[in-house]
Structure 1
Amino acid sequence: MTVKIKKCNREDLQKLQEISVETFNDTFKDQNSPENMKTYLEKAFNYKQLEMELSNISSEFFLVYTNNEVAGYLKVNTNDAQSEDMGGESLEVERIYIKDNFQKHGLGKYLLNKAIEIAVERNKKKIWLGVWERNENAIAFYKKMGFVQTGAHSFYMGDEEQTDLIMTKSLSLL
């Protein structure tokens, strides 16, 4: 299995939108109402929204390819692009999305290691993320990768307030 990570640019917007909708829907449709899913997907992953995120100098997207097929992506944020004010010494992993048929192949680890590499290159002291409290597989994965829960914040899925756990990994020892 060949794995390649490529930084996204404007030409990747269509791909980014398709994979965002597909992976988010596949992961969360069974635990949320169709109305809330539809509302969220249309708001979070419409073309203009993704274009705005991609053009933010404090955010970066990376597509992961397996055998030349797009398998998922990573989004990282620094500075004011972070979804919580964690300060200038932090890097946020906002999204690690992997298509269903590519899960359990180690791609999440590739992408998380890419995020850690970026954080270390930029002299960040910690890396953090928010993960839905009911996403047990993801929580277990992040714990295995050295993240610990340091807080929580609200996440809105349509009109439903949900809780994301904030998980953090210190980079000062790396």
Structure 2
Amino acid sequence: MEIITKFIIATEQGRGIVATLAKEIAAEKFASLVEPQQLEDYIEKKFNDKNLIAEMNSMSNQWLVVYVGDTPAGYAYITSNGRKPKNQEEARMMRIADFGILEKYNDTTVRLSLLEKCLAISKSYNGLWVHEYKENPLIAFFESEGFVMQNEVYQHEELPLPSIFLTRNNL
């Protein structure tokens, strides 16, 4: 089956694809970690149509969708905004603000397709950083692809979960 990652824009169809993926992936990621109402509030705040239009139309952001065949299987949200790790505050870096793949498609080939496009976007920068909740199973994947966990622990930006930074410098 063909696996391809494409840029997606803020058309009605594009927003619909991202919203559907984001809501399903957030539910899979966080359902066992936070209270149901917290999860519902998080999804509504972060992935409502108004917020998605603003985020998808921002010149600082790029959105990617990975397809397995014709089926959207995951997405990534890349931005130059956000709190950087302390040791990278002066570096010119891009951030993987969100990276997720539906559980039924979550295999190495799909993850790599999505990550490779993220890396291609960031080539003209000093590197990439990720700010993720500490227990995210994707952390091992990021580390296997050259990301290094930083010695900073914070709270997730929107949920009451401990989070960490991972960085990868471009050579």
Asked if these proteins are the same fold (TM beyond 0.5), I'd say: yes
- Contiguous gaps of at least 5 residues in structure 2: none
Q: What is the TM-score with the length of structure 2 in the denominator?
A: 0.89
CA distance in 1, matches of 2:7, 2:128: 19
CA drift at 1:105: 4.4
CA distance in 2, matches of 1:106, 1:87: 33
Match of 1:96 in 2: 99
CA drift at 1:153: 2.9
CA drift at 1:5: 1.6
Secondary structure of the residue that 2:161 maps to in structure 1? strand
CA distance in 1, matches of 2:91, 2:166: 17
CA offset digits 1:89-142 (Å, max 9, x no partner): 10101111111110124212211111111111xx2111110111122x211111
Kindly report the root-mean-square deviation, in angstroms, between the aligned alpha carbons of the 2 structures: 1.5
| Percent identity for Structure 1 against Structure 2 | 20
Please give the residue correspondences for 1:108-119 in structure 2 after superposition, counting only pairs within 5 Å: 108-119=111-122
Match of 1:15 in 2: 17
CA distance in 1, matches of 2:70, 2:156: 34
- Contiguous gaps of at least 5 residues in structure 1: none
Count of residues paired in the alignment? 164
Match of 1:31 in 2: 33
Q: What is the TM-score with the length of structure 1 in the denominator?
A: 0.88
Secondary structure of the residue that 2:115 maps to in structure 1? helix
Secondary structure of the residue that 2:32 maps to in structure 1? helix
CA drift at 1:148: 0.8
CA distance in 2, matches of 1:155, 1:57: 24
Secondary structure of the residue that 1:152 maps to in structure 2? strand
CA drift at 1:152: 3.2
Please tell me whether the aligned partners of residues 132 and 156 of structure 2 are also in contact (alpha carbons under 8 angstroms). Answer: no
Letter in 1 for 2:142: Y
